[in-house]
Chains A and B, each alone.
Chain A
């Protein structure tokens, strides 16, 4: 299979042709020709390395009504992704080699993008005993990222042991930082809006206190810590401090935390209910700056599909979470590029290069140069469209961006030289 991509602006640079043959980038230059190649007109399009998501809920096994590996990875490809990390909070929980291999195999069979299962840190996500981390690391799925996402590993001893244990196979613990006692029954960011709406507050300190503790633990045992979905200005300060010490701490931010604030809860529409909650404008600004200066390493979607009935309720009983794979690049474009905080090379770094490095994916997030695996995204930055969930590939519709006008659109995605999206449509 050979594709000749004509006139793409690699990382937003000058137009160039990219010849993709046998799964790798065979040539990069101007005026390239190749017999038997399918020509892809990329005039005006930006070429990025295929995006890598560190935080995706594919819901299978267990909640196939919300999403499946097939539908979720198709949505990922439509959003420009060539690799996703499937979170462990499935039913059954991905806490054994058997379950992670099942998810990994479903991903291979679907073929829309690479699926790297995240292993649970503790059995059943119960926060009591370590899951068999080594077995998951040694399985066909080669798990390197471990997380109890949705639950915080709040027990300090258990967290310490997990951080230490995964060093044996160069793993990383991705912590969902949420002090459980401070967030009992919590519904939204604790502040002016929660007080007015009478919704139980979710204080920033519940996130920050755990991040501070975990940074200190990671330093003490010399391990890698990854902080999931950072949402507060205070968390940014702590991570900046930890990095200044040279500790191995990385962090992610979601697209929705880069764009939306807690005032949206005034609608009482649970489409805006998410964990961690939407915060204030000051937090959004701090997160953007931190992503721009590299304190926050990457954007991760926390794509969390839910069926309609889980959101068409009162606020309190509604499920937490938002889908994000198909809007992530446009949201980052709006929040980071349009504001001048990142250029396209920066976007490639935060959405492909660094997440691949954190997940230890050798074939992803590579520069677009001869010999590299041809994982590519072609993005049209010139259009602006109103987000219409009806057109989504995901099985779920719980997007907070519906009705919002956002820039850009993914035109094509290549997974090791094979198109998974062409002309804006998944194949």
Chain B
């Protein structure tokens, strides 16, 4: 696996399966009375959030803490960043403090890529602008796999603002790697002009795609799109591209409904659909913690098996040695 997780394209099929399998093993501790593992004890994970995102930050924080890492939350608001400090200076500060992993959320596409050039620790992209959100794609794939089994040949339909969606970009790449067939559905205004070069199908007619979908993933429509002529009115958008009870009924019996949240109930998804048994929306949140645990474990190289010798799955080998820098431990204790 690469040192950083910035794009879903960084993951080979084996990498992705390793993360999903590791997450599966880690999910076992969710049933234990004590949910904490010693795996990343002594490691420092910095959550660097330049954009408000309570759910993603909490998810990463819970994941790191369950692996016993020390977690530093660095939010742009009220920090030196709001006083004009550059990303580079923030990176150098983190570097001086000895961060082993930096989880970054940023409103500028490519910010994690830049950060990776300025720090030695592993960088995990927790969403950058309109570029990518690879751990969201991983937790989505994990959720699909739990519900439907192997993703090879599964048909996944992603509906909404593809142009501005980092979730869609990461999902197209990862699902393609995992062998699923992706169809994107949106009004033509909300596709990138070059979407025909992406490894997926493109459709404007939601109803035509519904019956053959195993998964329907609805994307949030941002408020600012509603006034910029991407579509005439919210009601027209909802009629043409919203998932309501009528469309839900057109799905195959086994098909599931996903949404990365936060939802606009009544716009892209009707309340009764969001709350139906086919909806995996709450599961996705729970699975987010597990999948992020797997990512942090594999990137930061726990020196011990993920959850103790007797339950280590085949194929999960601690790969920490390559990642550890000599003198790390003593340096951290001095600090």
Give A residues with C-beta under 8 Å from B.
187, 190-192, 194-201, 203, 267-269, 309, 312-317
Contacts and interface: CB of A to CB of B under 8 A. Distances in A.
| 3 smallest beta-carbon distances between A and B, as pairs | A268-B110, A198-B131, A195-B192
A315 B193 contact: no
B105 to A, nearest CB: 13
Contacts of B240: none
B108 interface: yes
Contact of A199 (B110, B193, B194, B198): B110
Contacts of A192: 194, 197
A315 B108 contact: yes
B109 interface: yes
Contact of B106 (A200, A267, A269, A314): A314
A400 to B, nearest CB: 16
A70 B225 CA distance: 48
B88 A198 contact: no
Contacts of A268: 109-111, 113-114
Contact of A314 (B110, B192, B193, B195): B110
A267 to B, nearest CB: 8
Contacts of B195: 195
A264 to B, nearest CB: 13
Contact of B86 (A195, A197, A267, A313): A313
B87 interface: yes
Contacts of A198: 109-110, 128-132, 166, 169
Interface residues of B, number: 23
A65 to B, nearest CB: 16
Given A198-B128, A198-B131, A314 B108 contact: yes
A196 B163 CA distance: 10
B197 A199 contact: no
Nearest to B110: A268
A268 B7 CA distance: 13
B130 A313 contact: no
Interface of B: 86-88, 106, 108-111, 113-114, 128-132, 166, 169, 192-195, 197-198
A192 B192 CA distance: 8
Given A196-B198, A312-B86, A314-B111, 18 more contacts: A191-B194, A195-B192, A195-B194, A195-B197, A196-B194, A197-B131, A198-B110, A198-B131, A198-B169, A199-B131, A200-B130, A201-B193, A268-B110, A268-B113, A309-B86, A312-B88, A314-B106, A315-B114
A187 B129 CA distance: 12
B94 to A, nearest CB: 16
Contacts of A200: 130
Nearest to B163: A195
A315 B106 CA distance: 12
A244 to B, nearest CB: 30
Q: Is the interface of A mostly helix, strand, loop or mixed?
A: loop
Contacts of A317: 108
Q: Which of A194, A268, A269, A309 has the most CB of B within 10 A?
A: A268
Contacts of B109: 187, 197-199, 268, 315-316
A183 to B, nearest CB: 14
A309 B113 CA distance: 17
A355 B197 CA distance: 40
B129 A316 contact: yes
Contacts of B130: 198-200
23 contacts: A194-B194, A195-B195, A197-B110, A198-B128, A198-B169, A199-B131, A201-B192, A201-B193, A267-B113, A268-B109, A268-B111, A268-B113, A313-B86, A313-B88, A314-B108, A314-B111, A314-B114, A315-B108, A315-B109, A315-B110, A315-B114, A316-B109, A317-B108
Contacts of B197: 192, 195-196
A315 B108 CA distance: 7
A197 B130 CA distance: 8
B166 A314 contact: no
Contacts of B198: 195-196
B193 A190 contact: yes
Contacts of B166: 198
B164 to A, nearest CB: 8
B195 to A, nearest CB: 6
Contacts of B114: 268-269, 313-315
A192 B106 CA distance: 23
Contacts of B111: 268, 314
A206 to B, nearest CB: 13
A200 B193 CA distance: 11
A18 B152 CA distance: 75
Contacts of A201: 192-193
Nearest to B193: A190
Contacts of A195: 192-195, 197-198
A402 to B, nearest CB: 15
A316 B108 contact: yes
Nearest to A203: B193
B308 to A, nearest CB: 40
A199 B106 CA distance: 13
Nearest to B130: A198
Contacts of B193: 190-191, 195, 201, 203
